[in-house]
């Protein structure tokens, strides 16, 4: 990565799945009313900041957050699947208490984790670094997911 690259990382706003405590990886729920309010708060927080580029995951909750947060900005929004959350496979939509102790331990540790029938953290890391490594110097806003930020 170019040392002149500065990343500003923002997680998408809340969805109904987040509110219910469900794991949401590649599922595609939109923002809840609270999530839209969070995106408007992000817009206010970023109002004095100028970005070379703004990138978002292609999942609806991230695109909605980025669109609301960047309303009125002249910077084109770049949508890229490499910024997607970890694919949770068989545990997608599960609540924490429904997960086996082994899966909970793996999620807490994160490094080395692979969701059952899902994606490895290493694969997530590889696709995210592929995008980040391609960025030119400057300040870049990435609107993405908790796993990507982690």
Residue positions annotated with a catalytic role: 12, 85
Whole-number Å distance between alpha carbons of 106 and 125: 16
| DSSP-derived 3-state class of residue 20 | coil
Kindly state the DSSP code that residue 78 receives in the 8-state scheme. Answer: E
The residues with which 78 forms a beta bridge, in sequence order, are 55
CB atoms closer than 10 angstroms to residue 91:
19
Contact 98, 27 (CB under 8 A): no
């Amino acid at each position: 990565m170019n040392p002149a690259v500065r990343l500003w990382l923002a997680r998408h706003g809340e969805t109904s799945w987040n509110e219910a405590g469900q794991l949401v990886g590649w599922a595609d729920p939109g923002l809840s009313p609270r999530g839209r309010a969070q995106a408007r708060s992000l817009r206010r927080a970023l109002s004095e900041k100028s970005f070379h580029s703004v990138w978002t995951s292609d999942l609806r909750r991230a695109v909605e957050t980025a669109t609301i947060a960047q309303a009125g900005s002249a910077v084109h929004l770049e949508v890229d699947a490499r910024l997607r959350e970890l694919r949770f496979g068989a545990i997608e939509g599960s609540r924490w208490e429904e997960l086996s102790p082994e899966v909970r331990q793996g999620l807490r540790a994160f490094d080395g984790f692979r969701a059952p029938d899902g994606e490895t953290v290493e694969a997530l890391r590889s696709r995210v670094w592929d995008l980040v490594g391609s960025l030119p110097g400057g300040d870049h806003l990435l609107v993405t997911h908790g796993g990507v930020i982690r």
